[in-house]
A and B are shown apart, each in its own frame.
Chain A
Protein backbone atom coordinates (compact mmCIF):
# COMPACT_ATOMS: atom_id res chain seq x y z
CA UNK A 1 0.00 0.00 0.00
CA UNK A 2 1.48 3.30 -1.09
CA UNK A 3 0.78 6.71 0.33
CA UNK A 4 0.11 8.19 -3.08
CA UNK A 5 -3.15 10.13 -3.13
CA UNK A 6 -5.65 8.55 -5.50
CA UNK A 7 -8.08 11.47 -5.38
CA UNK A 8 -7.22 15.10 -4.80
CA UNK A 9 -9.16 18.31 -4.36
CA UNK A 10 -7.20 21.50 -4.90
CA UNK A 11 -8.68 24.78 -3.70
CA UNK A 12 -12.14 23.79 -4.76
CA UNK A 13 -14.99 26.30 -4.74
CA UNK A 14 -18.47 25.17 -5.56
CA UNK A 15 -21.73 27.11 -5.35
CA UNK A 16 -25.22 26.43 -6.58
CA UNK A 17 -28.14 28.68 -7.40
CA UNK A 18 -31.16 28.53 -5.15
CA UNK A 19 -34.28 30.65 -4.92
CA UNK A 20 -32.50 32.88 -2.44
CA UNK A 21 -29.55 33.46 -4.75
CA UNK A 22 -26.14 31.85 -5.13
CA UNK A 23 -25.27 29.56 -2.24
CA UNK A 24 -21.60 28.73 -1.69
CA UNK A 25 -21.53 25.03 -0.77
CA UNK A 26 -17.80 24.33 -0.75
CA UNK A 27 -15.10 26.95 -0.28
CA UNK A 28 -11.34 26.67 -0.79
CA UNK A 29 -11.30 23.00 0.03
CA UNK A 30 -8.16 20.96 -0.50
CA UNK A 31 -7.92 17.29 0.26
CA UNK A 32 -5.69 14.33 -0.56
CA UNK A 33 -7.25 10.90 -0.34
CA UNK A 34 -4.63 8.19 -0.05
CA UNK A 35 -4.81 4.89 -1.86
CA UNK A 36 -6.31 2.20 0.32
CA UNK A 37 -7.51 4.60 2.99
CA UNK A 38 -11.00 4.78 4.40
CA UNK A 39 -12.08 8.39 4.66
CA UNK A 40 -15.19 9.20 6.66
CA UNK A 41 -16.74 12.61 6.12
CA UNK A 42 -19.07 14.04 8.79
CA UNK A 43 -20.60 17.44 9.34
CA UNK A 44 -23.88 19.14 10.14
CA UNK A 45 -26.71 18.26 7.77
CA UNK A 46 -26.78 20.39 4.64
CA UNK A 47 -23.12 21.27 5.10
CA UNK A 48 -22.11 20.22 1.62
CA UNK A 49 -20.67 16.78 2.33
CA UNK A 50 -22.81 15.21 -0.38
CA UNK A 51 -21.75 18.00 -2.71
CA UNK A 52 -18.15 17.12 -1.94
CA UNK A 53 -18.80 13.47 -2.77
CA UNK A 54 -20.47 14.43 -6.06
CA UNK A 55 -17.48 16.58 -6.96
CA UNK A 56 -15.24 13.56 -6.39
CA UNK A 57 -17.59 11.41 -8.46
CA UNK A 58 -17.57 13.81 -11.41
CA UNK A 59 -21.30 14.43 -11.14
CA UNK A 60 -20.60 18.09 -10.30
CA UNK A 61 -17.76 20.30 -11.43
CA UNK A 62 -15.97 22.92 -9.32
CA UNK A 63 -16.36 26.63 -10.08
CA UNK A 64 -12.71 27.08 -9.24
CA UNK A 65 -9.95 24.66 -8.36
CA UNK A 66 -9.39 21.10 -9.49
CA UNK A 67 -10.51 17.57 -8.78
CA UNK A 68 -7.86 15.04 -9.74
CA UNK A 69 -8.05 11.27 -10.10
CA UNK A 70 -4.53 9.79 -10.24
CA UNK A 71 -3.32 13.24 -11.21
CA UNK A 72 -5.79 13.60 -14.10
CA UNK A 73 -8.66 16.13 -13.96
CA UNK A 74 -12.04 14.49 -13.40
CA UNK A 75 -14.24 15.06 -16.46
CA UNK A 76 -17.32 13.06 -15.53
CA UNK A 77 -18.53 9.89 -13.85
CA UNK A 78 -16.20 6.97 -14.39
CA UNK A 79 -16.35 3.28 -13.43
CA UNK A 80 -13.01 3.80 -11.67
CA UNK A 81 -15.02 5.62 -9.01
CA UNK A 82 -18.06 3.60 -8.00
CA UNK A 83 -20.94 5.34 -6.26
CA UNK A 84 -23.35 3.97 -3.67
CA UNK A 85 -26.26 6.26 -2.79
CA UNK A 86 -28.54 6.24 0.23
CA UNK A 87 -31.22 4.67 -1.97
CA UNK A 88 -29.87 1.49 -3.57
CA UNK A 89 -31.02 2.62 -7.07
CA UNK A 90 -31.18 -0.94 -8.33
CA UNK A 91 -32.93 -1.44 -11.65
CA UNK A 92 -36.28 -2.99 -10.79
CA UNK A 93 -36.63 -4.79 -14.14
CA UNK A 94 -33.40 -6.74 -13.57
CA UNK A 95 -32.77 -9.57 -11.11
CA UNK A 96 -30.12 -9.08 -8.44
CA UNK A 97 -27.65 -11.07 -10.56
CA UNK A 98 -28.38 -8.98 -13.65
CA UNK A 99 -28.08 -5.78 -11.64
CA UNK A 100 -24.62 -6.80 -10.50
CA UNK A 101 -23.76 -7.73 -14.08
CA UNK A 102 -24.86 -4.30 -15.36
CA UNK A 103 -21.50 -2.49 -15.14
CA UNK A 104 -19.43 -5.25 -16.79
CA UNK A 105 -22.12 -5.55 -19.49
CA UNK A 106 -22.06 -1.81 -20.24
CA UNK A 107 -18.29 -1.95 -20.46
CA UNK A 108 -18.55 -4.68 -23.08
CA UNK A 109 -17.08 -7.61 -21.16
CA UNK A 110 -17.72 -11.06 -22.67
CA UNK A 111 -20.79 -12.84 -21.36
CA UNK A 112 -18.91 -15.62 -19.60
CA UNK A 113 -16.63 -13.17 -17.82
CA UNK A 114 -19.41 -10.93 -16.58
CA UNK A 115 -21.45 -13.90 -15.39
CA UNK A 116 -18.47 -15.01 -13.37
CA UNK A 117 -18.02 -11.52 -11.92
CA UNK A 118 -21.69 -11.27 -11.02
CA UNK A 119 -21.59 -14.62 -9.23
CA UNK A 120 -18.42 -13.70 -7.38
CA UNK A 121 -19.72 -10.38 -6.06
CA UNK A 122 -23.22 -11.61 -5.32
CA UNK A 123 -21.52 -14.22 -3.18
CA UNK A 124 -19.29 -11.63 -1.51
CA UNK A 125 -22.36 -9.80 -0.20
CA UNK A 126 -23.98 -13.15 0.67
CA UNK A 127 -26.94 -12.86 -1.69
CA UNK A 128 -26.32 -16.00 -3.77
CA UNK A 129 -29.68 -17.52 -2.95
CA UNK A 130 -31.37 -14.26 -4.05
CA UNK A 131 -29.45 -13.88 -7.34
CA UNK A 132 -32.61 -14.60 -9.32
CA UNK A 133 -34.88 -12.43 -7.16
CA UNK A 134 -36.01 -8.96 -8.12
CA UNK A 135 -34.94 -5.98 -6.00
CA UNK A 136 -38.46 -5.27 -4.73
CA UNK A 137 -38.55 -8.78 -3.26
CA UNK A 138 -35.59 -7.91 -1.01
CA UNK A 139 -35.34 -6.04 2.28
CA UNK A 140 -33.69 -2.61 2.39
CA UNK A 141 -30.45 -4.00 3.78
CA UNK A 142 -30.28 -6.71 1.13
CA UNK A 143 -30.95 -4.13 -1.58
CA UNK A 144 -28.09 -2.00 -0.35
CA UNK A 145 -25.78 -5.05 -0.30
CA UNK A 146 -26.79 -5.75 -3.90
CA UNK A 147 -26.00 -2.13 -4.80
CA UNK A 148 -22.59 -2.55 -3.21
CA UNK A 149 -21.97 -5.75 -5.17
CA UNK A 150 -23.03 -4.01 -8.38
CA UNK A 151 -20.41 -1.30 -7.86
CA UNK A 152 -17.71 -3.77 -6.77
CA UNK A 153 -18.26 -5.93 -9.87
CA UNK A 154 -16.72 -3.07 -11.86
CA UNK A 155 -13.55 -3.34 -9.74
CA UNK A 156 -13.39 0.41 -9.05
CA UNK A 157 -10.33 1.98 -7.45
CA UNK A 158 -12.47 4.11 -5.21
CA UNK A 159 -15.85 3.58 -3.62
CA UNK A 160 -17.81 6.77 -3.01
CA UNK A 161 -20.64 6.21 -0.54
CA UNK A 162 -23.28 8.80 0.24
CA UNK A 163 -25.10 7.89 3.47
CA UNK A 164 -25.32 4.27 2.29
CA UNK A 165 -26.82 2.98 5.55
CA UNK A 166 -28.86 6.09 6.38
CA UNK A 167 -32.21 4.56 5.51
CA UNK A 168 -31.69 1.25 7.31
CA UNK A 169 -32.77 0.15 10.76
CA UNK A 170 -30.14 0.26 13.49
CA UNK A 171 -29.40 -3.45 13.62
CA UNK A 172 -29.11 -3.89 9.85
CA UNK A 173 -26.91 -0.83 9.82
CA UNK A 174 -24.46 -2.36 12.28
CA UNK A 175 -24.32 -5.60 10.29
CA UNK A 176 -23.63 -3.73 7.08
CA UNK A 177 -20.93 -1.64 8.74
CA UNK A 178 -19.13 -4.84 9.67
CA UNK A 179 -19.57 -6.22 6.17
CA UNK A 180 -18.26 -3.05 4.59
CA UNK A 181 -15.28 -3.12 6.92
CA UNK A 182 -14.58 -6.70 5.87
CA UNK A 183 -14.89 -5.84 2.18
CA UNK A 184 -12.57 -2.86 2.61
CA UNK A 185 -9.99 -5.08 4.29
CA UNK A 186 -10.17 -7.93 1.81
CA UNK A 187 -10.25 -5.84 -1.38
CA UNK A 188 -7.97 -2.95 -0.42
CA UNK A 189 -10.27 -0.41 -2.09
CA UNK A 190 -10.12 3.25 -1.21
CA UNK A 191 -13.43 4.20 0.38
CA UNK A 192 -14.93 7.63 0.93
CA UNK A 193 -17.95 7.48 3.19
CA UNK A 194 -20.27 10.41 3.82
CA UNK A 195 -22.33 9.81 6.93
CA UNK A 196 -24.06 11.76 9.65
CA UNK A 197 -23.35 9.06 12.18
CA UNK A 198 -20.19 10.07 14.01
CA UNK A 199 -20.00 6.60 15.54
CA UNK A 200 -20.04 5.01 12.08
CA UNK A 201 -17.40 7.45 10.84
CA UNK A 202 -15.03 6.69 13.72
CA UNK A 203 -15.68 2.96 13.66
CA UNK A 204 -15.00 2.48 9.94
CA UNK A 205 -12.58 5.21 8.97
CA UNK A 206 -8.83 5.41 8.95
CA UNK A 207 -9.41 9.15 8.92
CA UNK A 208 -12.36 11.30 9.86
CA UNK A 209 -12.88 14.62 8.15
CA UNK A 210 -15.18 17.04 9.96
CA UNK A 211 -16.68 19.72 7.74
CA UNK A 212 -18.05 23.08 8.88
CA UNK A 213 -21.52 24.35 8.18
CA UNK A 214 -22.02 25.79 4.66
CA UNK A 215 -19.77 26.70 2.94
CA UNK A 216 -17.94 23.49 3.78
CA UNK A 217 -14.41 23.91 5.06
CA UNK A 218 -12.26 21.45 6.99
CA UNK A 219 -12.81 21.81 10.73
CA UNK A 220 -10.81 18.80 11.77
CA UNK A 221 -8.95 15.95 10.14
CA UNK A 222 -8.51 13.14 12.62
CA UNK A 223 -6.63 9.88 12.01
CA UNK A 224 -8.37 6.90 13.61
CA UNK A 225 -7.52 3.23 13.75
CA UNK A 226 -10.49 1.28 15.03
CA UNK A 227 -11.04 -0.23 11.61
CA UNK A 228 -7.59 -1.77 11.46
CA UNK A 229 -7.13 -3.36 14.88
CA UNK A 230 -10.58 -4.77 15.62
CA UNK A 231 -11.73 -8.14 14.42
CA UNK A 232 -14.88 -9.18 12.66
CA UNK A 233 -17.97 -9.52 14.79
CA UNK A 234 -16.63 -7.25 17.49
CA UNK A 235 -18.42 -4.14 16.31
CA UNK A 236 -20.50 -3.67 19.44
CA UNK A 237 -17.56 -4.35 21.66
CA UNK A 238 -15.26 -1.89 19.86
CA UNK A 239 -17.86 0.84 20.09
CA UNK A 240 -18.10 0.37 23.86
CA UNK A 241 -14.37 0.75 24.52
CA UNK A 242 -13.33 3.90 26.43
CA UNK A 243 -10.77 4.89 23.79
CA UNK A 244 -13.45 4.63 21.08
CA UNK A 245 -15.86 6.75 23.08
CA UNK A 246 -13.13 9.31 23.69
CA UNK A 247 -12.47 9.77 19.95
CA UNK A 248 -16.18 9.76 19.18
CA UNK A 249 -16.75 12.56 21.70
CA UNK A 250 -13.83 14.51 20.31
CA UNK A 251 -15.30 14.36 16.81
CA UNK A 252 -18.75 15.18 18.15
CA UNK A 253 -17.45 18.34 19.78
CA UNK A 254 -16.32 19.60 16.37
CA UNK A 255 -19.64 18.74 14.78
CA UNK A 256 -21.58 20.58 17.47
CA UNK A 257 -19.62 23.82 17.24
Chain B
Protein backbone atom coordinates (compact mmCIF):
# COMPACT_ATOMS: atom_id res chain seq x y z
CA UNK B 1 0.00 0.00 0.00
CA UNK B 2 2.60 2.67 0.96
CA UNK B 3 4.73 1.48 -1.96
CA UNK B 4 1.81 2.14 -4.28
CA UNK B 5 1.18 5.56 -2.80
CA UNK B 6 4.81 6.48 -3.37
CA UNK B 7 4.42 5.18 -6.90
CA UNK B 8 1.52 7.54 -7.59
CA UNK B 9 3.24 10.52 -5.97
CA UNK B 10 6.26 9.82 -8.10
CA UNK B 11 4.04 9.85 -11.20
CA UNK B 12 2.59 13.22 -10.21
CA UNK B 13 6.10 14.62 -9.93
CA UNK B 14 7.00 13.19 -13.32
CA UNK B 15 3.96 14.94 -14.83
CA UNK B 16 4.96 18.29 -13.35
CA UNK B 17 8.59 17.81 -14.35
CA UNK B 18 7.54 16.97 -17.93
CA UNK B 19 5.64 20.26 -18.29
CA UNK B 20 8.54 22.27 -16.87
CA UNK B 21 10.95 20.43 -19.17
CA UNK B 22 8.88 21.09 -22.30
CA UNK B 23 8.51 24.70 -21.24
CA UNK B 24 12.28 25.06 -20.71
CA UNK B 25 13.14 23.43 -24.03
CA UNK B 26 10.60 25.59 -25.88
CA UNK B 27 12.02 28.71 -24.25
CA UNK B 28 15.65 27.70 -24.90
CA UNK B 29 14.91 27.03 -28.57
CA UNK B 30 12.97 30.29 -28.81
CA UNK B 31 10.04 28.47 -30.42
CA UNK B 32 7.95 31.54 -29.63
CA UNK B 33 9.22 35.03 -28.73
CA UNK B 34 10.32 35.57 -25.11
CA UNK B 35 7.46 38.06 -24.76
CA UNK B 36 4.87 35.29 -25.16
CA UNK B 37 6.67 32.58 -23.29
CA UNK B 38 9.24 33.78 -20.78
CA UNK B 39 12.04 31.40 -19.82
CA UNK B 40 11.47 29.55 -16.51
CA UNK B 41 14.70 31.14 -15.30
CA UNK B 42 13.28 34.62 -16.01
CA UNK B 43 10.06 33.77 -14.19
CA UNK B 44 12.00 32.47 -11.18
CA UNK B 45 14.11 35.63 -11.16
CA UNK B 46 10.99 37.82 -11.42
CA UNK B 47 9.41 35.86 -8.60
CA UNK B 48 12.43 36.63 -6.40
CA UNK B 49 12.39 40.25 -7.51
CA UNK B 50 8.70 40.88 -6.78
CA UNK B 51 8.98 39.00 -3.51
CA UNK B 52 11.73 41.15 -2.10
CA UNK B 53 11.76 44.39 -4.11
CA UNK B 54 8.12 44.48 -5.10
CA UNK B 55 5.90 45.24 -8.04
CA UNK B 56 4.53 48.77 -8.53
CA UNK B 57 4.71 49.89 -4.94
CA UNK B 58 4.18 46.64 -3.07
CA UNK B 59 6.05 43.41 -2.47
CA UNK B 60 4.49 40.05 -3.29
CA UNK B 61 3.79 39.29 0.39
CA UNK B 62 2.01 42.64 0.59
CA UNK B 63 -0.16 41.86 -2.46
CA UNK B 64 -0.80 38.34 -1.27
CA UNK B 65 -1.79 39.58 2.18
CA UNK B 66 -4.23 42.07 0.63
CA UNK B 67 -5.84 39.31 -1.44
CA UNK B 68 -5.95 36.82 1.42
CA UNK B 69 -7.52 39.37 3.69
CA UNK B 70 -10.34 39.94 1.17
CA UNK B 71 -10.90 36.23 0.55
CA UNK B 72 -10.79 35.25 4.20
CA UNK B 73 -12.93 38.13 5.46
CA UNK B 74 -15.54 37.37 2.76
CA UNK B 75 -15.45 33.66 3.51
CA UNK B 76 -15.39 34.01 7.29
CA UNK B 77 -18.39 36.35 7.16
CA UNK B 78 -20.27 33.88 4.95
CA UNK B 79 -19.49 30.84 7.12
CA UNK B 80 -21.42 31.84 10.28
CA UNK B 81 -24.34 33.21 8.23
CA UNK B 82 -24.70 30.78 5.31
CA UNK B 83 -24.34 27.58 7.36
CA UNK B 84 -27.02 28.37 9.96
CA UNK B 85 -29.32 29.65 7.21
CA UNK B 86 -28.73 26.49 5.17
CA UNK B 87 -29.43 24.30 8.19
CA UNK B 88 -32.63 26.23 8.86
CA UNK B 89 -33.59 25.88 5.18
CA UNK B 90 -33.04 22.15 5.42
CA UNK B 91 -35.03 21.85 8.62
CA UNK B 92 -37.97 24.10 7.82
CA UNK B 93 -39.94 24.15 4.58
CA UNK B 94 -41.03 27.70 5.30
CA UNK B 95 -37.53 29.05 5.68
CA UNK B 96 -36.55 27.23 2.49
CA UNK B 97 -39.56 28.54 0.56
CA UNK B 98 -38.58 32.08 1.56
CA UNK B 99 -34.85 32.05 0.87
CA UNK B 100 -34.33 29.42 -1.79
CA UNK B 101 -35.59 31.46 -4.80
CA UNK B 102 -33.48 34.46 -3.77
CA UNK B 103 -30.28 32.44 -3.50
CA UNK B 104 -31.05 30.41 -6.62
CA UNK B 105 -31.63 33.62 -8.58
CA UNK B 106 -28.36 35.33 -7.82
CA UNK B 107 -26.19 32.21 -7.58
CA UNK B 108 -25.77 31.59 -11.33
CA UNK B 109 -25.17 35.28 -12.09
CA UNK B 110 -21.60 36.07 -13.15
CA UNK B 111 -20.16 38.00 -10.18
CA UNK B 112 -18.94 40.80 -12.46
CA UNK B 113 -22.55 41.48 -13.48
CA UNK B 114 -23.55 42.76 -10.07
CA UNK B 115 -20.11 43.88 -8.94
CA UNK B 116 -20.58 47.31 -10.54
CA UNK B 117 -23.73 47.71 -8.48
CA UNK B 118 -21.83 46.84 -5.30
CA UNK B 119 -19.27 49.48 -6.18
CA UNK B 120 -21.98 52.09 -6.66
CA UNK B 121 -23.43 51.17 -3.28
CA UNK B 122 -20.31 50.52 -1.24
CA UNK B 123 -17.59 52.54 -2.95
CA UNK B 124 -14.33 51.48 -4.55
CA UNK B 125 -12.59 50.42 -1.34
CA UNK B 126 -12.30 46.97 0.16
CA UNK B 127 -15.94 46.95 1.30
CA UNK B 128 -17.33 46.27 -2.17
CA UNK B 129 -14.67 43.61 -2.80
CA UNK B 130 -15.39 41.84 0.47
CA UNK B 131 -19.13 42.06 -0.26
CA UNK B 132 -18.60 40.44 -3.66
CA UNK B 133 -16.52 37.64 -2.15
CA UNK B 134 -19.07 37.18 0.63
CA UNK B 135 -21.77 36.71 -2.01
CA UNK B 136 -19.56 34.28 -3.91
CA UNK B 137 -18.79 32.27 -0.76
CA UNK B 138 -22.41 32.13 0.42
CA UNK B 139 -24.35 29.74 -1.86
CA UNK B 140 -22.03 26.70 -1.76
CA UNK B 141 -22.11 26.89 2.04
CA UNK B 142 -25.86 27.31 2.44
CA UNK B 143 -26.68 24.70 -0.20
CA UNK B 144 -24.34 22.10 1.26
CA UNK B 145 -25.71 22.67 4.77
CA UNK B 146 -29.26 22.42 3.42
CA UNK B 147 -28.63 19.19 1.53
CA UNK B 148 -26.73 17.87 4.55
CA UNK B 149 -29.91 18.14 6.61
CA UNK B 150 -31.92 16.44 3.87
CA UNK B 151 -29.54 13.49 3.76
CA UNK B 152 -29.56 12.65 7.48
CA UNK B 153 -31.01 9.12 7.60
CA UNK B 154 -34.56 9.23 9.00
CA UNK B 155 -33.79 6.30 11.30
CA UNK B 156 -30.88 8.19 12.84
CA UNK B 157 -33.30 10.92 13.89
CA UNK B 158 -35.95 8.43 14.97
CA UNK B 159 -33.49 6.49 17.10
CA UNK B 160 -32.49 9.73 18.85
CA UNK B 161 -36.13 10.59 19.53
CA UNK B 162 -36.71 7.09 20.89
CA UNK B 163 -33.67 7.54 23.15
CA UNK B 164 -35.42 10.49 24.75
CA UNK B 165 -33.98 13.45 22.84
CA UNK B 166 -36.18 16.51 22.33
CA UNK B 167 -36.51 18.15 18.89
CA UNK B 168 -33.98 20.81 19.86
CA UNK B 169 -31.58 18.17 21.17
CA UNK B 170 -31.97 16.16 17.97
CA UNK B 171 -31.02 19.23 15.97
CA UNK B 172 -27.98 20.04 18.09
CA UNK B 173 -26.70 16.56 18.88
CA UNK B 174 -27.69 14.61 15.77
CA UNK B 175 -28.60 16.72 12.74
CA UNK B 176 -25.82 19.30 13.05
CA UNK B 177 -22.97 16.80 13.47
CA UNK B 178 -24.48 14.65 10.70
CA UNK B 179 -24.25 17.65 8.36
CA UNK B 180 -20.60 18.39 9.06
CA UNK B 181 -19.18 16.19 6.26
CA UNK B 182 -21.48 17.90 3.76
CA UNK B 183 -20.63 21.33 5.17
CA UNK B 184 -16.93 20.62 4.72
CA UNK B 185 -17.49 19.69 1.09
CA UNK B 186 -19.34 23.00 0.75
CA UNK B 187 -16.44 24.83 2.40
CA UNK B 188 -14.01 23.47 -0.15
CA UNK B 189 -16.25 24.44 -3.07
CA UNK B 190 -16.89 27.82 -1.45
CA UNK B 191 -13.21 28.65 -0.84
CA UNK B 192 -12.44 27.63 -4.41
CA UNK B 193 -15.18 29.77 -5.93
CA UNK B 194 -14.37 32.73 -3.67
CA UNK B 195 -10.76 32.53 -4.71
CA UNK B 196 -11.77 32.43 -8.39
CA UNK B 197 -13.94 35.51 -7.88
CA UNK B 198 -11.05 37.32 -6.22
CA UNK B 199 -9.43 38.19 -9.56
CA UNK B 200 -12.72 39.70 -10.76
CA UNK B 201 -12.92 41.78 -7.63
CA UNK B 202 -9.43 43.16 -8.15
CA UNK B 203 -10.08 44.23 -11.74
CA UNK B 204 -11.83 47.40 -10.69
CA UNK B 205 -10.19 50.21 -8.80
CA UNK B 206 -7.61 48.13 -6.98
CA UNK B 207 -3.97 49.00 -6.38
CA UNK B 208 -3.09 45.87 -4.49
CA UNK B 209 -3.64 42.11 -4.56
CA UNK B 210 -2.19 39.29 -6.63
CA UNK B 211 -5.16 39.41 -9.01
CA UNK B 212 -4.59 43.09 -9.59
CA UNK B 213 -0.85 42.47 -10.05
CA UNK B 214 -1.44 39.96 -12.84
CA UNK B 215 -4.04 42.14 -14.59
CA UNK B 216 -1.80 45.20 -14.31
CA UNK B 217 1.19 43.27 -15.62
CA UNK B 218 -0.93 42.27 -18.62
CA UNK B 219 -1.37 45.90 -19.58
CA UNK B 220 2.40 46.33 -19.72
CA UNK B 221 3.00 42.97 -21.42
CA UNK B 222 5.04 41.82 -18.41
CA UNK B 223 4.43 38.14 -19.13
CA UNK B 224 7.11 37.13 -16.61
CA UNK B 225 5.11 38.83 -13.84
CA UNK B 226 1.92 37.17 -15.13
CA UNK B 227 3.57 33.76 -14.99
CA UNK B 228 4.96 34.41 -11.52
CA UNK B 229 1.58 35.71 -10.31
CA UNK B 230 -0.31 32.73 -11.70
CA UNK B 231 2.19 30.39 -10.07
CA UNK B 232 1.70 32.08 -6.71
CA UNK B 233 -2.10 32.04 -7.07
CA UNK B 234 -2.07 28.36 -7.93
CA UNK B 235 0.07 27.42 -4.96
CA UNK B 236 -2.01 29.61 -2.64
CA UNK B 237 -5.24 28.04 -3.90
CA UNK B 238 -3.84 24.58 -3.25
CA UNK B 239 -2.72 25.66 0.22
CA UNK B 240 -6.20 27.01 1.08
CA UNK B 241 -7.81 23.76 -0.01
CA UNK B 242 -5.25 21.77 1.94
CA UNK B 243 -6.04 23.72 5.11
CA UNK B 244 -9.76 22.93 4.79
CA UNK B 245 -8.98 19.28 4.10
CA UNK B 246 -6.74 19.06 7.18
CA UNK B 247 -9.52 20.55 9.30
CA UNK B 248 -11.96 18.12 7.73
CA UNK B 249 -9.82 15.13 8.58
CA UNK B 250 -9.51 16.32 12.18
CA UNK B 251 -13.15 17.23 12.70
CA UNK B 252 -15.01 14.60 10.62
CA UNK B 253 -12.69 11.59 10.49
CA UNK B 254 -15.69 9.34 9.84
CA UNK B 255 -16.47 11.00 6.50
CA UNK B 256 -16.90 8.44 3.75
CA UNK B 257 -16.78 5.55 6.22
CA UNK B 258 -20.44 5.64 7.22
CA UNK B 259 -23.40 5.90 4.92
Measured CB to CB, the residues of A under 8 A from B are 57, 59, 76-79, 81-83, 85, 87, 89, 91-93, 102-103, 106-107, 134-136, 150-151, 154
Contacts and interface: CB of A to CB of B under 8 A. Distances in A.
Nearest to B256: A136
A17 B160 CA distance: 26
Contacts of B12: none
Given A85-B155, A106-B169, A92 B257 contact: yes
A76 B162 CA distance: 9
A54 B169 CA distance: 22
A93 to B, nearest CB: 5
A85 B159 contact: yes
Contact of A79 (B158, B162, B173): B162
A77 B162 contact: yes
| Interface SS majority for chain B | helix
B254 interface: yes
Place the interface of chain B in its size category: 20 to 34
Interface in B145-191: 153, 155-156, 158-166, 169, 173-174, 177, 180
Interface of B: 153, 155-156, 158-166, 169, 173-174, 177, 180, 252-254, 257-258
Given A83-B158, A91-B177, A102 B252 contact: no
A106 B158 contact: no
B160 A106 contact: yes
A139 B163 CA distance: 23
Given A91-B177, A92-B258, A93-B254, A103 B163 contact: yes
Contact of A136 (B169, B173, B258): B258
Interface centre among B160, B162, B169, B174 (most CB of A within 10 A): B162
Contacts of B257: 92, 136
B174 A59 contact: no
A106 B155 contact: no
A79 B258 CA distance: 25
Contacts of B162: 57, 59, 77-79, 81-83, 151
A90 to B, nearest CB: 8
A91 B170 CA distance: 12
Given A106-B164, A134-B254, A89 B159 contact: yes
A107 B173 CA distance: 13
A89 B163 contact: no
Contacts of A136: 254, 257-258
Contact of B161 (A76, A93, A154): A76
